Amino acid sequence: MASEDVKTSETAVSTIVNLAEEAKLAREGVKAPSSHALLSIAKSLVAGGVAGGVSRTAVAPLERLKILLQVQNPHSIKYNGTIQGLKYIWRTEGFRGLFKGNGTNCARIVPNSAVKFFSYEEASKGILWLYQQQTGNEDAQLTPLLRLGAGACAGIIAMSATYPMDMVRGRLTVQTDKSPRQYRGITHALSTVLREEGPRALYRGWLPSVIGVVPYVGLNFAVYESLKDWLIKSNPLGLAEDSDLSVTTRLACGAAAGTVGQTVAYPLDVVRRRMQMVGWKDAASVITGDGSSKAALEYTGMVDAFRKTVRHEGFGALYKGLVPNSVKVVPSIAIAFVTYEWVKSILGVEMKISD
């Protein structure tokens, strides 16, 4: 059977090496099969999109609570912890309230994840080829530092391409049925912000997002790929079988990668969310206030946002929402990576059988 010739899972490292070899052949004038290249691109895009959508939906209630904790007015505390916050949302907004903003999040995260995963493989392909040329070793593999660079590039490209959707998604997530003004959906929110606040408003918080990409996305990829490589090569406790890892082991690798990335980058995420709320005057009762005032804060930039947050609320304010974020990030990142490889594996088997 043709399916017996296909491994049940395709590791990211082998994919990178294969793509790098195609790039090498192309540069030497040897034309790689175009059908294989197109199928590889399609698999990366589809698998990345599915992985992002599935993982975000699974942890949508925790994601919403995290954002509410990050931006709520400290003079009118409604959400005070993970359990209490989830209970409060359930009591005041019902089951649908737990998933408010999830539709918009999926609309953003599917193309974001697709572009991110695809960009990572393409960046890795080019970086690996350059590294092999510089070292003169065609068998050289990507180092953790090079993986960090590839992951950071992929994260910046994907985040920038979908940032306006993330900005309005934050506002849609924060608003409740009692908010002074309601955005009716992503299209209405985008058009309203554009009309009332200008095009630059759609990119508020972009700078801390870019800076946060390096430790968050970069370390996610680097730690995950490096752990997989180490486990396969050293095979401690017999975790690797036939040069592959079980789903459970991959979940552990994804959990470790997510924990490292989110802890390092979290203060930048808090500042990003607060900057996104600037200019939304009708949400002053929701977002954080300046000093003893209940008016919404106005930030002149990222540094000013850090300074005012720490001055008025203390250093701990930079980690508001960290607990629900920690609870959600482990399964979210793990599910995303495992789903990505699982979907690619299925697509690979189906394509091989159909040939």
| Residue 156 is assigned to a structural domain of this protein | no
Inter-residue contact 2 to 352 (CB < 8 Å): yes
pLDDT score for 156: 86
Q: Is residue 160 part of a domain?
A: no
- Of the candidates 85, 89, 46, the one whose C-alpha atom is nearest the C-alpha of residue 342 is 46
Whether residue 337 is contained in a domain is answered as no
Q: What is the mean pLDDT of each run of 10 residues along the chain (355 residues)?
A: 35 38 40 60 74 86 93 82 93 90 82 79 88 85 81 84 90 79 85 91 92 75 82 74 73 78 87 88 56 61 92 91 84 79 74 39
Q: Among candidates 72, 220, 204, which has minimal Cα distance to 150?
A: 220
Q: What pLDDT is attached to residue 219?
A: 76
Residue 273 near residue 166 (C-beta atoms within 8 A): no
Does 61 reside within a domain?
A: no
In a domain, 6, yes or no: no
Q: Find the largest Cα–Cα distance for the chain.
A: 72
- Classify residue 200: in a domain, yes or no: no
Question: How many H helices and E strands in the chain?
Answer: 12, 0
DSSP string, 57-114: HHTHHHHHHHHHHHHB-TTS----SHHHHHHHHHHHHHHHHHTTTHHHHHHHHHHHHH
Give the count of domains, the chain.
1
Q: Is residue 267 part of a domain?
A: yes
Q: What is the pLDDT of residue 51?
A: 83
Predicted pLDDT at 302? 93
- Token pair 């003169």 is at which residue? 136
pLDDT at 163: 92
Looking at the domain assignment, is residue 331 inside a domain? no
Q: Which of 239, 299, 312 is nearest to 271 (CA)?
A: 299
| 3-state DSSP assignment of residue 287 | strand
Domain containing 252 equals: 205-277+287-319
Residue 183, SS3 per DSSP: coil
